[in-house]
């Protein structure tokens, strides 16, 4: 029932409206993170430490992102297609953007979500509550049990990387960025390929 309602909602929106709603949501997350940061951190030093650059952990974050994408693409080829059906949102978004637009969009998403969820919520409330909240807000993945488990496990893994790095944001921002970027490009290329085959 939820899947049907979501599919109907998506069907009634134009591609532009879907993309604008995604951007608007990320702007809201950035505003919330900006407001909460001074309230949750006692001084500038405590906050700025989140954004310290550690090359080793940045490499680990990027490598981890590549591993997640490789595993996801592997499973996509072997599991039933409906396991990855999010109501068509990702396809509607990424198939309409060029490569530069995809890069900019996923960069905004990675910064906004990791700053708020890992940088603020996980720092104050811990890994598990943050992972659950992160999974809950990604409503488009509620359509199938596999997607719910997928996003929950991914959130926990990102949270682990954040903790292991000593609560540094750049490793998880880049990990999130790599995952969304490569999967977004994959969706775009597959969509264009299917359209080309139909012509």
CA distance 149 to 190: 24
Alpha carbon of residue 59 to chain centroid: 19
Q: Where are the beta strands (DSSP E) in 107-199?
A: none
Is the residue at 196 inside a domain? no
Is the residue at 182 inside a domain? yes
Statement: residue 2 has pLDDT above 60: no
Is the residue at 71 inside a domain? yes
Total domains, the chain: 1
Mean pLDDT score, 86-94: 85
Residue range(s) defining the domain that contains residue 13 = 2-31+54-189
CB 6 within 8 A of CB 143: yes
Q: What is the pLDDT of residues 52-68, one digit of tens each?
A: 999 999 999 999 999 99
Statement: residue 3 has pLDDT above 70: no
Q: Which residue has the higher pLDDT, 135 or 26?
A: 26
Closest CA to 181 of 111, 79, 116: 111
Q: What is the pLDDT of residues 94-147, one digit of tens each?
A: 998 999 999 999 999 999 999 999 999 999 999 999 999 998 888 777 777 899
Is the residue at 132 inside a domain? yes
Is the residue at 49 inside a domain? no
């Amino acid at each position: 029932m939820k899947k049907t309602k979501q599919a109907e909602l998506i069907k009634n929106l134009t591609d532009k409206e879907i993309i604008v709603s995604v951007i608007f949501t990320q702007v809201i997350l950035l505003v919330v993170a900006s407001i909460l940061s001074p309230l949750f951190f006692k001084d500038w030093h405590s906050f700025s430490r989140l954004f310290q650059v550690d090359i080793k952990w940045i490499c680990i974050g990027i490598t981890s992102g590549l591993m997640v994408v490789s595993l996801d693409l592997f499973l996509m080829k072997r599991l039933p297609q409906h396991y990855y059906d999010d109501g068509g949102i990702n396809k509607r978004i990424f198939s309409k953007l060029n490569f530069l637009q995809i890069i900019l969009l996923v960069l905004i998403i990675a910064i906004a979500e990791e700053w708020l969820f890992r940088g603020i919520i996980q720092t104050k409330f811990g890994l598990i509550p943050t992972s659950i909240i992160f999974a809950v807000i990604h409503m488009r993945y509620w359509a199938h049990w596999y997607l719910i488990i997928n996003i929950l496990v991914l959130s926990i893994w990102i949270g682990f990387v954040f903790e292991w790095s000593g609560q540094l944001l750049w490793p998880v921002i880049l990990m999130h960025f790599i995952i969304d970027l490569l999967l977004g490009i994959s969706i775009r290329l597959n969509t264009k390929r299917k359209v080309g085959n139909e012509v």
